[in-house]
Structure formats: C-alpha cells, structure tokens
Amino acid sequence: MDLALLTIMFWGSVRDPILWIVGLIFGWDVEREFKKSLWFFLIAGAVWGGIRVAIYGGLGENLGLLGSISIVGICVGLMCSLCVIVRAIRKSYI
C-alpha cells in the first residue's frame, strides 16, 4: 500500500456523513460509563469500516487483505477520536 492510497482512504472517510452522524450520537451520551462507551465506539467504527470495504469491493476495487484492514483501522480510529472529542466537549459544558 502506498501513501497516496492511504491518504485517499483517510480523506474519503472524513467526508463520509456516517462518521459525523454516528460519532455525534454515540459521543453525546456522557452518562454512560466510559468503558462501555468505548466498546460502542470500537464496534461502530469496525462496522462502518466493513461497510466502506464492501462498498469499495462492490465498485470493483481490489483492496486485498492489507487494504481492507487499513480502511477498517482508519474508520475505527476516526470514530473513536470523534466520539471521545464530542464526549470531552460535552462533559466540559455540563
């Protein structure tokens, strides 16, 4: 995998509205215990990454194992980051 493809995958993931909608919804609940919330963030990111891999596969891309794992990893990282940021901002204002 080259850096250009990883960059395209990253910015494509950032522009995906699923990240923003699900990230805001899951990150908004500050009353839920953090450990339980973290599991929600990880699972949501993995499912979202799996959906992105399936979409790329359906469009004819041949990602291979490393490409698929990279997309899922990017999605999990972005989802967890956004959710934790939303949660921290919300906790600071409550």
What phi and psi values does residue 6 have, to the nearest 5 degrees?
-65, -40
**CB neighbourhood size of 23 (10 A):** 24
Q: CB of 71 within 8 A of CB of 59?
A: no
Residue 90: the pLDDT is 92
Residue 7: the pLDDT is 87
Place of tokens 């972005």: 78
Average pLDDT, 10 consecutive residues per value, the chain (94 residues): 80 91 91 90 94 90 88 94 94 84
Task: Give the angle 74-5-42 at the CA atoms, nearest 5°.
Answer: 10
Residue 1: the pLDDT is 62
Q: CB of 11 within 8 A of CB of 71?
A: no
pTM above 0.75, yes or no: yes
Residue 89: the pLDDT is 94
Residue 50: the pLDDT is 94
